[in-house]
Chains A and B, each alone.
Chain A
Amino acid sequence: AQSVTQLDSQVPVFEEAPVELRCNYSSSVSVYLFWYVQYPNQGLQLLLKYLSGSTLVKGINGFEAEFNKSQTSFHLRKPSVHISDTAEYFCAVSLPSSNTGKLIFGQGTTLQVKP
């Protein structure tokens, strides 16, 4: 079975500082990897995804993530955060072999950007 672990439940950071949100997954088969963000009172929105190819993936709002197969990690980074990045971030996987596309989520990380 697959599982996703987000190592930090909350990450406080000052505005304009860099941030890394950590995500590790467990799977005996290949997976696709996703990061979603949920702003207050909104649905989840896709930030970026890794399907294949270059291990460095760039997403919206200046975020990027790097797939590391040997460490089974997919950490999310941003070099300089804004107040507006305050939200909850979810790492998720799906199975390429699946015919459903269901997502398996981590527990979420709340990013708190302070002025």
Chain B
Amino acid sequence: EAGVTQFPSHSVIEKGQTVTLRCDPISGHDNLYWYRRVMGKEIKFLLHFVKESKQDESGMPNNRFLAERTGGTYSTLKVQPAELEDSGVYFCASSPAGGVASYNEQFFGPGTRLTVL
């Protein structure tokens, strides 16, 4: 069974440009999460999808970030325009439906390292 995959693994862009990160969750997982780790800091929650609906987007930094999950399958996270402080590692995670979301194991992808110059 394939795990969570993320594309690209690395991205280097100039300030002001647009970048789109993609996450493919484990097949059949209804819950999809985005997290971010800025260098030297802790991993922070960005948002949570249940299927195609945003369940919680309280961690999104500002309106330059747009997340979508069309059809409840893969998800994209677009940053437009990118700023220097957006640099970091963006992780995606998924978990199955059912039970209580807060104790289901989340399966993480390897992350996308974004560098904004």
In the complex, the answer to whether A94 meets B42 with C-beta atoms within 8 Å is no
Looking at B91, B101, B106, which has the most chain A CB atoms within 10 Å of its CB?
B106
Q: Is B43 an interface residue when CB atoms closer than 8 A count as contact?
A: yes
Give Cα distance in the complex from A109 to B92, angstroms: 21
Query: Chain B residue with minimal CB distance to A41?
Result: B110
Interface of B with A (CB < 8 Å)?
3-4, 31, 33, 35, 41-45, 48, 55-56, 59, 91, 93, 95, 100-111
Q: Is A18 an interface residue (CB 8 A)?
A: no
Chain A: minimal CB distance from B21 (Å): 14
Residues from chain B with a CB closer than 8 A to the CB of A102 are 33, 45, 48, 56, 59
The residues of A that contact B104 with a CB separation of less than 8 Å are: 101
Residues of A within 8 A of B91 (CB): 43-44
Cβ contact within 8 Å between A105 and B44: yes
On chain A, the residues within 8 Å of B105 by CB distance are 46, 49
Answer whether A96 and B100 are a contact pair too, CB < 8 Å, given A43-B91, A46-B105.
yes
Is A100 touching B55 in the complex (CB atoms < 8 A)? yes
Q: From B110, which residue of chain A is reached at the shortest CB distance? A: A43
Q: Shortest beta-carbon distance, A93 to chain B, in Å? A: 9
CB distance from B108 to the nearest CB of A (A): 4
- Chain A contact residues: over half helix, strand or loop, or mixed? loop
Inter-subunit contact B101/A100 (CB<8 Å)? yes
Instruction: Count chain A residues whose beta carbon lies closer than 8 angstroms to a beta carbon of B.
Output: 27
Contact A101 B108 (CB under 8 A): no
**CB-CB nearest in chain A for B99:** A101
Q: Bound complex: CA of A103 vs CA of B95, how far in Å?
A: 12
A107-B42 contact, Cβ under 8 Å, with A43-B4, A44-B91, A100-B56: yes
For A17-46 the 0/1 string (1 means CB < 8 A from B) is 000000000000000100010000111111
Residues of B within 8 A of A107 (CB): 41-42
User: Chain B residues with Cβ under 8 A from A105's Cβ?
Assistant: 35, 42-44
Q: Which chain B residue has the least Cβ–Cβ distance from A32?
A: B103
Chain A's closest residue to B55 (CB) is A100
